[in-house]
């Protein structure tokens, strides 16, 4: 018999799209729930009194008291692991920040040992923050991808990553060529895509730093590689949009550049999308292209306020995931990211509920990545990536929780006051890889 891992406590998950169907019809909460894990997958989940009757005698149960909530691991849909070392670097706006910090730091990733060191720091910080899956930009160097996937494979984490494609408008040391980028990416796909839990993303950094020739080859590579992802940036900053217009004058807009080069569709996810027009949002809806909402980054660089309510409206819903966008993003914590998500939504006249926020950080992000059949919810058959939230992680939160009167209020307190200290434990494929003291 295979060894079972059994978790007991309050459990929270979502059964469908909370933006479309509503929180009341999709939130699944058990005040005394049980999750049974075997071979890295959830084999049973439900009320503890029911599940317990099916367990073999003597099985060990890891129980968490009423101050904890077991939920799916958080999912970060857009992040740059090489920028771990420049989080919190002062910058004016996007392009200045790239030139003054990002491109300088990324040149160090020619050294695989340095890449491996940063990858390990990044992944350990993810685990401390309860993040179990990320869509990750590496650098132009293939060894930066190897280092990342070697580290994530060792932890058996479900990760998406890819080599940056960039053949212009960057330092010479960070440029490839269209053919070189194609060949190196293809070799990395062969080596890493679906190697264990690793997934590959074709990764043109963004339209300005790739020539039309490279964009054409990137789209071709993605179309030739079924099941892979494509990740890039779109409409983050008004100055960037004008730059794209000057570089691609025949295209109708920023998103149309990616459309022209066959880079829209299922498993394509674009960071930011702050300034997408209605016609561009409609095109995302039609093609199944997803947007990664990066609230801390957009505020840090003064890029703008993404309109979450408009993007997810039922008439033409766009798949939206949540993202830290480190290192312009300022925290690994998805709770802190939800805090800023709420504030951005408020500034757009949309008081985002805690239920919708936690959906966005879990099943919603999994849906944006087309991985909701594997991760993002506590359902039989899903991979057992879970986080245990301590709802009284600091003295101030413990005091505030004394006056809490509902689950919705408890969740809202966590996302506005909580941070990585709220993470009691993080499970990856059923194995506890992080536990707070």
Residues 335-377: pLDDT tens digits? Answer: 999 999 999 999 999 999 999 999 999 999 999 999 999 999 9
Q: Are 281 and 287 in contact (CB under 8 A)?
A: no
The answer to whether 7 and 62 are in contact (CB under 8 A) is yes
Question: pLDDT tens digit string along 130-185?
Answer: 999 999 999 999 999 999 999 999 999 999 999 999 999 999 999 999 999 999 99
> Tokens 């459309």 — which residue?
259
Helix 142-155, helix 112-128: angle, nearest 10: 40
Mean pLDDT throughout 410-434?
98
Cα distance between residue 272 and residue 294, in whole Å: 6
Domains and CATH numbers, the chain: 5-72+377-435 (2.30.40.10), 74-368 (3.20.20.140)
- Give yes or no for a contact between 88 and 330, defined as CB atoms under 8 angstroms apart: yes
pLDDT at position 183 is 98
Q: What is the pTM of this model?
A: 0.97
- In the prediction, which pLDDT does 1 show? 46
- Give CA–CA dist 241/248, Å, rounded: 10
pLDDT at position 2: 63
How far apart (Å, rounded) are the C-alpha atoms in residues 42 and 47?
14
State how far the Cα of 197 lies from the Cα of 386, in Å rounded to an integer.
16
């Amino acid at each position: 018999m295979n060894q079972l891992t059994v978790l007991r406590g309050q459990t929270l998950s979502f059964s469908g799209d909370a933006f479309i169907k509503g929180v009341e019809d999709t939130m699944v909460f058990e005040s005394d729930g049980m999750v049974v894990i075997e071979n890295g997958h959830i084999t049973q989940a439900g009320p503890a009194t029911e599940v317990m009757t099916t367990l073999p005698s003597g099985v060990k149960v890891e129980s968490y008291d009423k101050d904890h909530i077991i939920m799916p691991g958080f999912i970060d849909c857009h992040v740059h692991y090489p920028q771990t070392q420049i989080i919190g670097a002062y910058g004016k706006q996007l392009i200045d920040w790239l030139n003054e910090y990002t491109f300088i730091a990324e040149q160090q990733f020619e050294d695989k040992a340095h890449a491996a060191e940063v990858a390990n720091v990044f992944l350990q910080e993810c685990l401390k923050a309860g993040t179990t899956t990320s869509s990750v930009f590496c650098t132009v160097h293939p060894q930066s991808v190897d280092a990342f996937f070697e580290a994530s494979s060792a932890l058996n984490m479900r990760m998406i990553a890819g080599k940056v494609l960039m053949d212009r408008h960057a330092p010479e040391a960070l440029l490839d060529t269209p053919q070189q980028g194609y060949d190196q990416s293809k070799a990395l796909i062969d080596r890493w895509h679906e190697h264990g839990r690793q997934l590959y993303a074709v990764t043109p950094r963004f339209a300005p730093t790739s020539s039309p020739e490279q964009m054409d080859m990137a789209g071709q590579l993605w179309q030739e590689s079924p099941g892979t992802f494509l990740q890039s940036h779109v409409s983050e900053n008004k100055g960037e949009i004008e730059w794209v217009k000057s570089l691609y004058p025949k295209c109708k807009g920023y998103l149309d550049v990616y459309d022209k080069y066959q880079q829209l569709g299922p498993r394509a996810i674009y960071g930011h999308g702050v300034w997408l027009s209605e016609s561009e949002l409609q095109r995302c809806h039609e093609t199944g292209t997803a947007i990664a909402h990066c609230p801390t980054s957009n505020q840090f660089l003064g890029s703008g306020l993404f309109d979450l309510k408009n993007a997810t409206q039922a008439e033409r819903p766009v798949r939206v995931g949540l993202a830290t966008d480190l290192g312009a993003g300022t925290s690994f914590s998805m709770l802190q990211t939800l805090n800023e998500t709420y504030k951005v939504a408020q500034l757009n006249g949309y008081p985002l509920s805690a239920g919708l926020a936690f959906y966005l950080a879990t099943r919603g992000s999994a849906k944006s990545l087309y991985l909701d059949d594997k991760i993002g919810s506590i359902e039989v058959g899903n991979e057992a990536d879970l986080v245990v939230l301590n709802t009284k992680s600091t003295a101030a939160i413990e005091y505030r929780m004394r006056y809490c009167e509902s689950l919705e209020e408890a969740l809202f307190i966590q996302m506005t006051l909580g941070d990585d200290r709220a993470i009691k434990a993080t499970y990856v494929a059923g194995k506890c890889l992080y536990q707070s003291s």
